[in-house]
Chain A
Amino acid sequence: MTDSLVPVLEAQEKMDTDKMWVIWGPQHPFSHGLWTLKLKIDGEFIVDADPIVGYLHRGWEKETENRDYARIIPMTDRLCYCASMTYSHLYCMTVEKALGIDIPEKAKYIRIVADEVCRIQSHLMWLAAVGTDLGNLTVFLWAMREREYFLDLNVKLCGARMTTNYPRIGGVRNDTTPLFDRDILRTVERFEKAMWDIIYLIDDSSVFVSRMKGISYMTREQCANLGLTGPAMRGCGVDFDIRRDDPYDNYDKVNFEVPVLNKEKKVGDTYDRYMIRIEEMFQSCDIIKQAVQKINAIGKNAPYRLKTPTKVPAGTTFGRLEDPRGESIMYLVSDGTDKPWRLKVRSPIFTNVSCSKAMCDGIRIADVPAVLAQIDMCLGETDR
């Protein structure tokens, strides 16, 4: 090598020409909503990732400071259209805690049923998204077909499909409608059979499995430290479910197994994070059956809602709930008036998406949709 070439080569090294930033978003087919993922690629492989959110920031928390407590409930539905029921539930639960009241047993069980229906339909929405992200529309349409039955249950329960506006501070808006228990048991039993169609389609196909298996390993410590919560974390060996370990609203009175994969290995890949949600759907069916039995045992004319004062005593409190996507927390600061002083929402996806740098490290470009589909992105609650 001649001497004259050396500075050229040095300059080339500084220019870093073999790596480039590819910017996915805000309008990109893989992002289910408006967000950007900046990826630094070295050939096929990802070396750096930088998620950018905030395109949908509405100042939700500031808005709530301007409304009285009851009028915030419809707003909670708009946090995420898939998990509207759980957010309303979480909000009502937090305010009830601040008021220091205990709601009727029946309302607690109805909330459990509504929550689990919400969880199943949210997971089916996620499954549909996984299908399209992996390039197969059949999974999408089959999962959406199953989801319709659960949305019909929502209609039966409260008249709305997605933005339900159903839980109330002190209970729920209305009692279960006639024959609701029959319909829900039928739907669940049907679902437990029909779900196997989709499972056969995905798990028996080596293409689907090989797209997800062996990529993007996350250890238990990483998950806990980076704040990856929900099914994704349980797939990686964290044995923690708020419903079981920090129970709320009678979840301690139903029996259920929390599906956890890789408890000993303490490390999980994308396929584990996928499997855990499928198992969670079956577990939710189990919980629904038990809760419906309990509702029937309580009887028809039992109270389902308490009258509550409009003003909340001053103080701080927070509620914690297992959202379909992870751990959601509402932190409420009340000042004794009928409006909250501050209401903070901890969105699980907000923190999960911040882990995408760790999740995308070293995988291929083609793996990114498969890996980030397991976050189950929803921008309404991420940006708030």
Chain B
Amino acid sequence: MAVATYTSILEWINFNNPYDNPFTPFLSDNLPYDIAYGLWEILGGTLAWLINLLFPNNVVSTWLLCDEVCVLMSMLVFMLLIFIVAFVVVLLNLWMERKVLGRVMDRRGTMVGMKGFLQCVADGLKTFMKENTIPSKVDKMTYIWCVSLIVGLSCLVACMVPLSDRWYVVNYDSGLLIIMAFYALAPFFILVSGWAQNNKYSLIGGLRAAELMISYEVPMLIIIATTSLLCGSFNINAIVAAQSEIWFFIPQFLGFIVFFFCAIAECERPPFDIAEAETELVEGWQTEYAGMKWGLIMLGDYLRGSVSCGMVAIMFLGGWTIPFIGGTAAPEIVFLIKAWFVFFLMILVRGAIARVRPDQILNLGWKVFMPLAVINLAIVLLLKIGGVY
């Protein structure tokens, strides 16, 4: 990794080729960037060729094919590509939840087209078509900005989870910390939006989101620290590489269980969905959001859910590697299968137990998860001192 001093943001863009940039997030191999570059080569080349056919030797064609424009355009395609992959993963998660939950409940789950996959599309269309009502007495500015921030942050963090060592957006040494930091931001905006909606259900829901956050965030961060202690780095690639022989799920089994439940709480899925407990608070902090805003919030919830699963897969299940084999031809698929397996477990938990009461979550967080996380830390320390790791 390049060790250069970083003075201004101009240093990032004053390179013809981003690979020359010592600060580039795209080191030598970044598959989605390569795909985007190739795509732009085809697209932009065709465009330039067509224009050139009509107006030979024009400036636009030359401009379209110069290095800077190619890099810029392939960056845009790269962004789209990363988001679309994360989005499709979430849609598959949604579909899986519907079908698996259906089987748990002794029914078939949705059957709308393509074994029920088109239900997601139908839902999106339906929420999109709905009237976009804004209650007259809400604080409009906060009301709209909060939902944008919640959805935006969810999308951001979902894009930041790497699918493999060649499919990522950034590869920083503090990658795990950055993801967790963005991840933990959403509950603040939930609290603020609950306050902005001028509705008692929303207010209680927002306060409950804060209550939920203070109960799971501490044990979760302790386990993240433990994991990075075990492998000696916050870099996601390094964490995955450290699990090439034995998954971290074995030395820190307690941590795995605690992190799994904290991850459920983080994405506010049942049984920890106290902020939107529908039998008590109608829809909790989402009560006043209508139409597509509500649809986007649901999408954001599921995006965070897929991030939770990805984090469990990265930190405990060896990410995109398979023990004793190491890398495969399609590490992204290996990673997604692991993440989906974790999501499958989450669906089973949802199907099996009831919603937990807010005070019980506080008890659980501070009296059960917290000691377990500390014990987990002690075990890892012993392993470290004993020289096993």
Contacts and interface: CB of A to CB of B under 8 A. Distances in A.
Q: Do A and B come from one complex?
A: yes
A136 B279 contact: no
Interface string A116-133: 000000000000000111
Contacts of A29: 278-279, 282
Interface in B99-120: 101, 104-107
A272 interface: no
A204 B355 CA distance: 15
B205 to A, nearest CB: 11
Given A22-B200, A141-B105, A136 B280 contact: no
Size band of the A side of the interface?
Answer: 20 to 34
Nearest to A30: B279
A301 interface: no
Given A138-B105, A207-B353, A28 B204 contact: no
**Which of B105, B107, B282, B354 has the most CB atoms of chain A within a 10 A radius of its CB?**
B354
B359 A365 contact: no
B351 interface: yes
Interface string B262-284: 00000000110110011111100
Contacts of B282: 28-29
B17 to A, nearest CB: 54
B367 interface: no
A191 B201 CA distance: 40
Interface in B49-107: 101, 104-107
A365 B280 contact: yes
A187 to B, nearest CB: 17
Nearest to B274: A366
B352 A205 contact: yes
A318 interface: no
Nearest to A136: B354
A22 B318 CA distance: 48
Contacts of B280: 30, 365-366, 368-369
B107 A141 contact: yes
A145 B200 CA distance: 36
A366 B277 contact: yes
A142 B354 contact: no
Size band of the B side of the interface?
Answer: 20 to 34
B374 to A, nearest CB: 23
Contacts of B101: 137
Contacts of B355: 134-136, 211, 366
A366 B105 contact: no
A366 B281 CA distance: 9
A114 B218 CA distance: 57
Given A135-B271, A205-B354, A207-B354, A369 B279 contact: yes
A368 B357 CA distance: 11
A210 B356 CA distance: 9
A44 interface: yes
Given A29-B282, A44-B358, A136-B355, A365 B204 contact: yes
A352 B270 CA distance: 31
Given A131-B354, A134-B354, A142-B105, 20 more contacts: A22-B200, A22-B204, A29-B278, A29-B282, A132-B279, A133-B279, A135-B271, A135-B278, A136-B351, A137-B101, A138-B105, A138-B351, A142-B106, A201-B352, A211-B354, A364-B357, A365-B280, A367-B357, A368-B280, A369-B280
17 contacts: A28-B282, A29-B279, A44-B358, A134-B279, A134-B355, A135-B271, A136-B351, A137-B101, A137-B351, A141-B106, A208-B353, A211-B354, A211-B355, A365-B281, A366-B277, A366-B280, A366-B357
